[in-house]
């Protein structure tokens, strides 16, 4: 871009830009790139131990027989978590946004309530829902008791992951709702008026006006949802701990292999190995994001 530069000197531009860039490089990019390097070494958590270059050994280890059950499990959990929570989040958020887009009394208040959990944060959210699902007679427990049923909730490996997904959706849904509301407000009213004149049913108006006009918001929401869900582990960490097999996801594995001193079946406590898991995750997030973006863009064009 051959843009004209109106100011007398370029030095101040370059120097303040460089200060920002330098902080970013040192504290964000160097650690990120170092993950690639470390994944080829046997770096340990304790400082001062010698570090060796071990080539692809960590990756061979990761894909090898010894860790296969654990790694497949974490891989599967990550995909279930990201897939289900994104789908539920988008679906529910769309319904809620359609509802909150109607001219109802107190609409602004409802919107703020829906967005509130984002502000409360993971620890508060996790504690609220641990309390709701507490096994010594909490609300969820009481409801089940009405049907003569019982559950260990987060302690039950069969449903723990799905409960975490439920809490995740509760926590982050507000963001998607706000994005959808912005998209809905951008749709011109005339379109609906014309459709009314033509006698379109509510479903037809939704399918042929709302959905196509909302396509960019849907794309944004799906991408944001997938990227966040694949990288998020704070909620799982607080709700169930880092070492539960039922809710083990890739990010938690990275944490646990790097720093978790507690027993995990195949814990080797090597940061090099943890780095290789982080790389696997990075590639997975990248690939899935790319594929989703490609698919959604294609669909947007068709709608």
Partner 1 sequence: MSTVTGTDRGRPGNDALAAKPDKRLHKKRPPVGAYVCIALLMLFFLFPLAYLANTALKSGTEFIQDPVGLVTHPQWGNFAEAWRLGDFGAFVANTALYTVAGASIGTFIALVMGFPVARGYIRFVKLWNALFVFVLFLPNALMTQFQLLLKLDLYDTRLGYILMVGVGVGIGPLLFTGFVKSLPRELDEAAALDGVGYWRYLFSFVFPLAKPALATIFILQAVWIWNEIILATVLFADSSKWPIAAGLNAFKGTYSTNWSLLAAATLIVAAPLMVGYVFIQKFLVNGVVGAVKG
Residues 99-138 binding partner 1 (CB under 8 A) are 99, 102-104, 110-124, 127-132, 134, 136-138
Residue 227 Cβ vs partner 1, minimum distance, rounded to whole Å:
7
As separate numbers, helices (DSSP H) first and strands (DSSP E) second, the chain gives 13, 0
| Using rule CB under 8 A, residue 80 touches partner 1 | no
Residues between 164 and 183 with contacts to partner 1, criterion CB under 8 A: 170, 175, 178-179, 181-182
Position 271 contacts partner 1 (CB under 8 A): yes
Instruction: Establish if 90 lies at the interface with partner 1 (CB under 8 A).
Output: no
> Any contact of residue 267 with partner 1 (CB under 8 A)?
no
* Contacting residue, 84, 209, 227, 293, with partner 1 by CB under 8 A: 227
- Residue 140 to residue 131: CA distance in whole angstroms: 9
Give the range of 71-79, 150-158, 207-215, 280-288 binding partner 1 by CB under 8 A.
280-288
Closer to partner 1 by CB, 65 or 126: give it. 126
CA 170 to chain centre: 13
**In sequence order, which residues have a C-beta less than 8 Å from that of residue 294 and are 6 or more positions away?**
none
Cα-Cα-Cα-Cα torsion 150, 152, 153, 154, nearest 10 degrees, comes to 180
- Tell me if 50 contacts partner 1 by CB under 8 A: no
Q: Find all residues with CB under 8 Å of 219, minimum gap 6, and list them.
A: 293, 296, 297, 300
Tell me the Ramachandran region of residue 148: left when phi exceeds 0, alpha when psi lies from -120 to 50, beta otherwise. left
19 sits near partner 1 (criterion: CB under 8 A)? yes
Among 20, 65, 263, 298, binds partner 1 (CB under 8 A): 20
Which CB sits closer to partner 1, 197 or 301?
197
* Contacting partner 1 within 189-218 (CB under 8 A): 189-190, 193, 196-197, 217
> 53, 136 in Cβ contact below 8 A?
no
Cα 87–92–94 angle (5° rounding)? 100
């Amino acid at each position: 871009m051959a843009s004209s530069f109106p100011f007398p000197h370029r030095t101040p531009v370059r120097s303040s830009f460089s200060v920002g860039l330098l902080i970013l490089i040192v504290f964000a990019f160097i650690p990120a790139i170092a993950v690639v390097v470390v994944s080829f070494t046997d770096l340990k958590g304790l400082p001062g131990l010698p570090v060796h270059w071990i080539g692809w050994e960590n990756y061979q280890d990761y894909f090898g027989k010894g860790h296969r059950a654990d790694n497949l499990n974490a891989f599967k959990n990550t995909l279930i978590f990201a897939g289900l929570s994104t789908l539920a989040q988008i679906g529910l958020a769309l319904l809620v946004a359609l509802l909150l887009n109607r001219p109802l009394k107190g609409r602004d208040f409802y919107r703020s309530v829906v967005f509130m959990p984002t502000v409360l944060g993971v620890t508060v959210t996790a504690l609220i829902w641990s309390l709701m699902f507490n096994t010594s007679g909490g609300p969820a427990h009481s409801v089940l008791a009405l049907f003569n049923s019982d559950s260990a909730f987060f302690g039950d490996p069969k449903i723990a992951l799905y409960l975490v997904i439920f809490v995740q959706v509760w926590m982050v849904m507000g963001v998607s709702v706000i994005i959808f509301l912005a998209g809905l407000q951008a749709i011109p009213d005339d379109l609906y008026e014309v459709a009314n004149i033509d006698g379109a049913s509510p479903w037809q108006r939704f399918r042929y006006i709302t959905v196509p006009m909302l396509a960019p918001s849907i794309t944004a929401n799906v991408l944001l949802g997938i990227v966040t869900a694949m990288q998020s582990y704070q909620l799982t960490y607080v709700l169930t701990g880092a070492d539960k097999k039922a809710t083990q996801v890739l990010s938690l594995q990275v944490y646990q292999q790097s720093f978790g001193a507690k027993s995990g079946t195949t814990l080797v406590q090597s940061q090099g190995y943890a780095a290789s898991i982080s790389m696997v995750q990075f590639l997975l997030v990248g690939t899935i994001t790319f594929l989703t973006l490609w698919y959604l863009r294609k669909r947007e064009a068709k709608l």
